[in-house]
Structure 1
Amino acid sequence: MSPICSAKGCQAPAVWSLLWNNPKLHTPDRRKSWLACDEHRTSLGDFLGARGFLRDVEPLDPSGPVDAG
C-alpha cells in the first residue's frame, strides 16, 4: 500500500515527508513525520512552522520506513 497524504480528507499519494518535533514533548533528536502530496506540502509545512515544530522537508523515499505519527 502506498503512503497517502496526512492532510485531512486527502487520499493523494504522498511524495514529501515533513519532519517535525514538539520541543516541549520530544527530545531534540526525535523526528516525527507527516506525509504530504504536492498540493498540501505548503499548508502542512505552514501549520507546523507556525508552531515552531517543523525541522525539515524531504522527498519521500518509497523504499524507506514511514512513521506517519
Structure 2
Amino acid sequence: MNATDLQCSRRDCRNGATWAIVWNNPKLHTPERRKVWTACDEHREYLANFLDMRGFLRETVPWDEYEG
C-alpha cells in the first residue's frame, strides 16, 4: 500500500498520510507487537506526542520506509 491510499488517523482529518507512527501499549500488548497510526505532515507531531506522553510511542518513520 502506498501513501496515496492512506488517510491520516487524526479524527476528522481526511488528508493523505505520509508517516507511520508505530506504537504499542505495554499493558495490553506483548513487547514485539506493533500497532500503526498513519499521519499527514500536519498531524504527525500531534499524534506522536499523544502516544509518547503515555509511553506508547516506539518510532515515527516516513510511510515509504516503514517495514511493518
1:21 is aligned to 2:12: no
Residue in structure 1 matched with residue 10 of structure 2 by the alignment = 7
TM-score by length of structure 2 reads 0.87
The alpha-carbon deviation at position 53 of structure 1 amounts to 0.2
1:45 is aligned to 2:48: yes
Residue in structure 1 matched with residue 36 of structure 2 by the alignment = 33
Give the root-mean-square deviation of aligned CA atoms.
1.7
- Which residue type is aligned with residue 22 of structure 1? N
Q: Which stretches in structure 1 are left out of the alignment for 5+ residues?
A: none
- Which residue type is aligned with residue 64 of structure 2? D
- Tell me which stretches of 4 or more aligned residues in structure 1 moved more than 6 Å: none
TM-score by length of structure 1 reads 0.86
Please state whether the residue corresponding to 1:11 is helix, strand or coil. coil
Q: Deviations over 1:3-30 (max 9, x none)?
A: 0000000000000000000000001011
Q: Which stretches in structure 2 are left out of the alignment for 5+ residues?
A: none
The alpha-carbon deviation at position 61 of structure 1 amounts to 2.3
